[in-house]
Amino acid sequence: MLRSTGRGLTMPKKHLNKKRPDDIKGTVKRIWNYLSVQKGLLTVVFFLVLMSSVFGLLGPYVTSVAIDDYLVKGDLNGLIPLLLILIGIYFSQSIVTFLQNFWMIGIAQKTVMTIRKDLFRHFQRLPIPYFDKKTHGELMSRLTNDIENVSKTLNSSVIQIISSILTLIGTVAIMIWLSPLLTLITFTIIPIMYAGMKWITKRTGYYFKEQQRNLGNLNGVIEETISGQQIVKTFSQEERVMKQFEKESEELRKSGFWALTYSGFIPKLMNVLNNLSFVLIAAAGGWLALEGLVTIGVIVAFIQYSRQFTRPLNDLANQFNTILSAVAGAERVFVVLDEKEELEDRDHATPLTDVTGSVSFHEVSFGYEKDQDTLQGLSFTAQPGETVAIVGPTGAGKTTIVNLLMRFYEIDEGTIEIDGKDITSFTRDSLRENMGFVLQDTLLFEETVLENIRYGRLDATDEEVKNAARIANAHSFITKLPNGYHTVLQQDGGGISHGQRQLLSIARAVLTDPTILILDEATSSIDTRTEVQIQRALWTLMEGRTSFVIAHRLNTIQRADQILVLDQGNIIEKGTHDELIEKDGFYKEMVISGIQANA
């Protein structure tokens, strides 16, 4: 076994015992299901592959006839037409090969596009908990690198495999017809080839899968580091992220090194076997020719066919490694496609319409992990038009309440009702359409300011968008941008301040005109002066709407109709600001200590 004392090159033996691609047969079958959608064009391609293989088999045979019947006899007049036929055969093979490759590339690209669309569409249907457990970079790697790996394989491997099989069958048949004895001698290399290929492929499968996994991990580190560059620099963690990057890069380097090293043994092995086959045929063929058992033309043809015999085996071996790499990528894609989508609405779920805004939690319990409850028997009611502030220390369960109300997560026990009806009796889309929310982390798209606000309601007119911006006190700064509302923002809102991004997010929520409004740290990134400016707009917006406010600033919550004080998943205090101050309890301690409902 190959080993090296160099850093990182020693191949751990334990890796060979780990699982290879879990279901090669099943994965290939699923890829074929995508390919078979284009059966008509595939049939044409297969026919062209057959024609190409036939032309490839005719060439050596015509050459042997030319040698034995014309060249040896010195019949140049008869040789010229045969040479023209030979030129025609190889020219036709070139044309057919070009067409089959051209059409197969089209089939492959359409197939990969369909897989990519299915995966992206599936992303939109997966529940929020799935994304909470996966890094963005790792998921992006499946949508890009893994699918691209499949694409490269489909572009060449399908034709190559079929062509190799047809050529192999035809070559063996002609070799047996020409000389069974020479064929038997040629076959003596098969046991050596089988043993070598078994040793190689046993090792390549694991490392190709590891390579794809490590690439996904590395992409995750890159994506997180680049998106969090400000935090990295703020806390001077450059050295730490570089070490993390180096670690993941080293893992990718090692898996890639061994995957390519072992797969690289295949052409070397086949080259040795080709040379061995040539020596055996030349020696045995020469002896048989002296004995008068075969002709010179047969020996020449046989040498060419022996090359064609080992070449398909070589191609199949190489394609096997390529397919293993593609299967490793495809498996990662299909693993995501097999993830359960967000639970479907009940059979008799109805749209949520004519909402008054009454929200009730009845003995609601929930945990992100089993046996670890985040909320425990939570009960409260928000009357229509009431503003409910939710405060408490970090991890108390404030944001969890919002996640459950939006049905991003499903409760373990209890019920949540809107207007006296269980929210599971409504369709998710209609439930969320009646809610507007502004989160602490603002997401803006690389689009105009106008379209970013319009994202809240796509059918809104330009004037409605501008009115929403005025209510959110965003109109003033928008008009000062280079192109006003038509200014194209950089990715994720780059080019404007964090506070301005938050104002656009608030304007987007205003535009939805929701019955239920959720503000999760909506003013956390806005300076005190800006906050004062938008407080009036927010209270105007909240008027007549049921609003849930999660905030850590006292002036954001003290005007709430009721304040829920959470600690370890329980409501420990409930009341207005003045009532809770009079109780001289946990809430008052937070206010006095300056924590003020620290989020």
Report the range of poorest mean pLDDT among 37-46, 102-111, 256-265, 481-490.
256-265
Residues in the chain: 599
Q: What is the pLDDT of residues 194-247, one digit of tens each?
A: 777 777 777 776 777 788 788 878 877 887 777 677 677 766 777 888 888 888
Task: Report residue 415's pLDDT band, with 50, 70 and 90 as the boundaries.
Answer: very high
Residue-wise pLDDT for 57-68, tens only, equals 888 777 777 777
- How many alpha carbons lie under 13 Å from residue 537 in its C-beta half-sphere? 22
What domains are there in the chain, each with its CATH number? 24-337 (1.20.1560.10), 347-434+546-599 (3.40.50.300), 435-513 (3.40.50.300)
Q: What does the pLDDT read at residue 417?
A: 92
- Give the sign of the dihedral formed by CA 119, CA 120, CA 125, CA 129: positive
Where does 66-146 have alpha helices with state H?
Answer: 76-125, 128-132, 136-141
User: Model-level pTM?
Assistant: 0.67
Q: Residue 15's pLDDT is what?
A: 41
Give per-residue pLDDT as tens, 90-116.
Answer: 899 899 989 988 898 888 888 888 988
496: its two tokens: 């404007």
Nearest to 257 by CA among 4, 552, 573, 513: 4
Higher pLDDT residue, 512 or 361? 361
Mean pLDDT of 158-176: 81
State how far the Cα of 385 lies from the Cα of 516, in Å rounded to an integer: 8
Q: Which DSSP string corresponds to 540-557? A: HHHTTSEEEEE-S-HHHH
Distance, CA of 83 to CA of 127 (rounded, Å): 67
- In this predicted structure, what is the pLDDT of residue 392? 84
Give the pLDDT score at 363: 92
pLDDT of amino acid 505? 83
Q: Are strands 562-567 and 570-575 parallel, antiparallel or unpaired?
A: antiparallel
Give the span between the Cα atoms of 470 and 103, in whole angstroms. 56
Nearest C-alpha neighbor of 405 from the set 352, 457, 454, 354: 352
Mean pLDDT (the chain) is 79
